[in-house]
Chain A
Amino acid sequence: MSFLREVDLPATFGPFAFFQKNLGFVPNLFRAQTLLPRVIEAEARIAGALLLKESALSRTQKECILLVVAAARQNTYCVMAHLRILLSLGMEEERAEALMSDPHRAGLPGADVALLDFALTLGLRPTRIGREDVEALRRAGFGDEQILEAVLMTGLAKFLCTLSTGLGVVPEFEPGRLRSRSGAAAPGAGPPDIGARGAPEHEKSGPYLRAADPSPDPFPPFIFFRERFGFIPNIFRAQTLRPDVLDAEAEAVGSILLTDDVLTRQRKEYILLVVSAANLNTYCVAVHCEMLRALGVPEETSDQVAVDHRHAGLSAADTALLDMALKLDRQPAEFRARDLEGLLRHGFTEEQALEAVVMTALTGFLNTLQMGLGTEPDFAPRRVFGAEAPTRASTASAAVEDADAGLVARAREGDTKAFEDLIRRHQRRVYRTLMVITGSLEEAKDGLFETFLQAYRQIDTFQGRTLFSVWLTRLAIGEGLRRLGRRNEAESLDDPAPDEGEFRPRQIQAWVDDPETIYSKAQIQALVEGEIMKLPARYRVVLALRDIERLSTEEAAAILDLGTARLRTRLSRGRLMLREALASHFSSGRKERGA
C-alpha cells in the first residue's frame, strides 16, 4: 500500500485503459494517485508522447535509459517495472541485469553505451553536463532529435523515481526474481568513470541542440505558454523538434502547475524554486523567481527562500512543505511515510500532499531537461550557480550536493567576490543566531563580523563533510557562546538555576486563533523578539538552537555539552516561559486593537 489513500475510479478511466493496452498492466504508480485523476491524465499523455510511440530512439533504447537511471538511483519500484518491460520487449535476463550493474559490460553496441553514459551523467550529476557531452553523442552517430529524446527520457526517469519514492509505491511483482548484485547495494553505483571527471568549462552560450522553427501556423503549446506566462520559456522553445511532446508538457504544466484548487500556485512555485536552487539550476531559479514576482512575492523574499527557506519568514506549514520537497528530491533513500505524514499534521490534505509530491517530481523533470538542453535563462538571474567543486567520494547513495560548493571552492582560491556571495547568502541566519544567543545587538554585530572573518581564515579547513551552511552556523554558535560566557552574567550556562523546580504556568486563558487579528505582523515580531530577549540566557540559547536553528536534540546537546535529557528539560522550560510571556498578549481576553 502506498503512503496515500487510493480511491476507485470508473472502469472507463482513460489512462488506465491506455496503460493496460500499452504496457499490459496498470502500474501501481498511477493507482497511487487516484486522489487526483487529472494528474494521472497529464502523466499518461507525457508517457504516451515520450515512451509509447515510434520515435527517433527505439523503445528498447528508451527503456534501457529508464532502467539504468532507476538502478543508479536505487529505486526498486522503477527498476522492477522497467526490467519487466525490457524482458517483454525480448531482452535476455542476463543482459538486462548486467545493464543495471554496468552498462559497459552488457555487450551493447558502442553507440548505446554512449547513450547510457550520457543519461547517467545527466541523471545523477546534472551540473556536469556540458556541450562536449552532447558532442560525444553526435560523434556516436546520434542526431539532434535522438539526443533530445535521450534528455527527455532521463528527465522522465527522474520524474518516475521521485514520484514512486514520494508515494511509497510498492512493486507490482516480487523483487526476489533478481539475483542480488553487490554493485546495486554499493552507494553511487554507476559507470566508474563518472566520479573522476572534472567540472566542464562553462562556456554556455545557447542551447546544445538546434531547435526547428515552428511552422508559421499558430502552435498551440506556444500560444498556451504565451497566454498563461506572458512569454515562451526557452526550455520549451528548445524542444520544437518534438511538437507532440511539447503538447503533452503544456498540458502537464496546465493541469499540475497552473491550477489553484488543491495547492495554491504560489506554493507550487515555491517548490519549483527551492528544488531548482538545490539542484543548482540557474535557469529554473531565474524563471520561478520571476513567476513569483508576478504573483506578488518580492524578489528579496524569493531570493531568501531559494537560499534558505527556513529563514525566509515563511509559515510553519510552508516550511514543512518545502522541507518535504527538498528531502524527496535530495535524499530519496531516506524518504519515509512519516515525511509525507508530516504534511498532514501541518494541516495539508492528502490531495495537497499528493500534488506536492507530483510537483517535486515535475521540478526534477524540468531541471533535468534544462541541464540537458543547455538553454539560456529567460531573465537575468539574480544568482548564478558556478561550476561545482570536484566532489569527494560520496557516502550517501544519492549524494547531497552543497549549493555553496562552487563558491566555497573559489573563495578558497582567494576569490573575494565569491566570499561576498557567501556572506550575502548566510549573514541573515548568522545574525539571527547571534542575536538570540547573545541577547545583545552590539554583540550580534561584532559577532557577525568575527564569524565571517573566522570563516574566511579557516575556509581551508572546511572539508565538505557537512554542508557549508552547517559549518558556518556552528562557527556562529561558538562565537555567540563565547561572547555570552565572557560577559558578566550573573548566571552561567552550566549551573542549574537556583529555582529550577517545577515551572507553574499561570496564564491559562485560551489564546485567539490568529494573533494577526489583534496585532500587525510587525507588532507580533517586536513582541516575540522582546520576550525572547528577556529570557535567561540558558533557555534562550536552547530555544535558539532547537527552535530557530532547528538543530536536532542530539546536535544541540553536543554543542552545549549537556545530556539530551537535560537539554529537553531546558527546552521545555524555555518554551513554557516564552508561552507565559506571550500569553498576556495573545489570550482572547484582550480587546481588539487596530493593526
Chain B
Amino acid sequence: MISCAEVLAELSSLLDDQVPAGLRSDLEAHIAGCRTCTVLYDSMRKTLTIVTEARTFDLPEDLSERMAQRILARVRGGPARPPS
C-alpha cells in the first residue's frame, strides 16, 4: 500500500508524467481514495497552471522600449567588434 508520504514525494514527478506506469496507477489509486492527497494533487496542478498562465514578470512597454534603445545605442556607438 502506498502511504501519503510516498505520494507527497512523487507528486511533482507525477504531474510531469515522469513516473513509471506501475507506480503511476498505484499513486492514482491512493489519491482517488484519500482526501488530503486529492487536495494536494489538485492544488499543485492548479499552481503549475497559474504559474504558466499568469503573465508573470511581464516586461512593461515603456521599459522594453528604453532597454531596446539603450542596448542599440551601445551596440551602434560602441567600439567596433573585433573582426571574426
Binding site for B on A (CB under 8 A): 313-316, 319, 414, 416, 419-420, 423-424, 427-428, 431-432, 435-436, 444-445, 448-449, 452-453, 456-457, 460, 502, 505, 508-511, 515, 521, 524-525, 528-529, 532, 543, 547-548, 553, 568, 571-572, 575-576, 578-579, 582-583, 586-587
Contacts and interface: CB of A to CB of B under 8 A. Distances in A.
Contacts of B76: 416
Nearest to A574: B12
Contacts of A515: 46, 50
Given A575-B12, A579-B44, A529 B57 contact: yes
B32 interface: no
B72 A423 contact: yes
Given A453-B74, A529-B56, A547-B52, A508 B44 contact: no
A445 B67 contact: yes
Contact of A521 (B36, B39, B54, B68): B54
Contact of B75 (A416, A428, A505): A416
Given A424-B68, A431-B59, A508-B40, A316 B47 contact: no
Nearest to A582: B47
Given A427-B64, A432-B59, A456-B81, 4 more contacts: A313-B53, A416-B76, A532-B56, A572-B11
A432 B39 contact: no
B84 interface: yes
Interface of B: 5, 8-9, 11-13, 16, 18, 36, 39-40, 42-44, 46-59, 63-64, 67-68, 70-72, 74-76, 81, 84
A579 B75 contact: no
Contacts of B44: 575-576, 579
| Interface residues of chain A: helix, strand, loop or mixed (majority) | helix
Nearest to B44: A579
6 contacts: A316-B48, A427-B68, A445-B67, A448-B67, A460-B84, A525-B54
- Mostly, the B contact residues are helix
Given A416-B75, A448-B67, A571-B12, A432 B46 contact: no
A158 to B, nearest CB: 31
A419 B58 CA distance: 21
Contacts of A423: 67-68, 71-72
Given A572-B13, A578-B47, A432 B68 contact: no
Contacts of A579: 40, 43-44, 47
A547 B51 contact: yes
A548 B64 CA distance: 20
Contact of B47 (A314, A416, A449, A575): A575
A548 B75 CA distance: 29
B46 A505 contact: no
Contacts of A529: 54, 56-57
A454 to B, nearest CB: 11
Contacts of A315: 49, 53
B55 A525 contact: yes
Given A428-B59, A431-B57, A575-B48, A553 B5 contact: no
B72 A419 contact: yes
Contacts of B71: 423, 449, 452-453, 456
